[in-house]
Amino acid sequence: MRSFTPDEDDGYVALVDRGSIRIAANSFTFTNEVRLDAKNGFPGGITFNSFGNLWGTLIMSDQLFLLTPEGNCQILFDDRNPQATDALEKTFYESRVTPELMLAASGAIAQWAASATFGGPHLKTVYLSSLRSTRIPYFRSPIAGRPMVHW
């Protein structure tokens, strides 16, 4: 809970280079993960499609977004509870989030959507993982995903 405030900037980017590690950037708020690019990425909650667009989720907003290399953002899926999400966002900026507000900010399909990944034989099935659901929602994408670098 301490890190779920705009005042706690304990996030950082660590860079591993030639066997050593260093902090490349710090003072980020409410961080989770990062992927450097489609060629040097690593598995996690975000993924790339075959056009180089980054796909990711907004946890507790239960949204799936697409971010182009030019910086344009598009919401592809919106399962949020608008009133609960607005209340959570308001209390976040006031540094008074509670577990009850976090639990209320949840959609019906992908509760606390945590990641997106492409799968299936042609990498055209998008799977959404979530921290509170008992199933894995998925849908067919007209655009294929990019294979993971380690495949």
pLDDT at 17: 85
pLDDT at 37: 55
pLDDT at 91: 92
Specify whether the CB–CB gap between 54 and 46 falls below 8 A.
yes
pLDDT at 33: 65
Query: What does the pLDDT look like over 101-141, one tens digit per residue?
Result: 999 998 999 999 989 999 999 999 999 999 998 999 999 99
Residue 60 DSSP class? T
pLDDT at 43 over 90: no
Residue with the bigger pLDDT between 104 and 1: it is 104
The verdict on pTM exceeding 0.85 is no
Specify whether the CB–CB gap between 107 and 87 falls below 8 A.
no
- At 10, give phi and psi (nearest 5°): -95, 5
pLDDT at 40: 58
**How sure is the predictor about 86, in pLDDT bands with cuts at 50, 70 and 90?**
very high
Question: What's the mean pLDDT when you consider all of the chain?
Answer: 87
- Contacts of range 85-92, beta carbons closer than 8 Å, 24 or more positions apart: 85/60, 85/61, 88/60, 92/4, 92/5, 92/6
**How sure is the predictor about 72, in pLDDT bands with cuts at 50, 70 and 90?**
very high
Cα-atom radius of gyration of the chain, to the nearest Å?
16
Separation of CA 25 from chain center: 19
Q: Is the dihedral of CA 114, 32, 117, 76 positive or negative?
A: positive
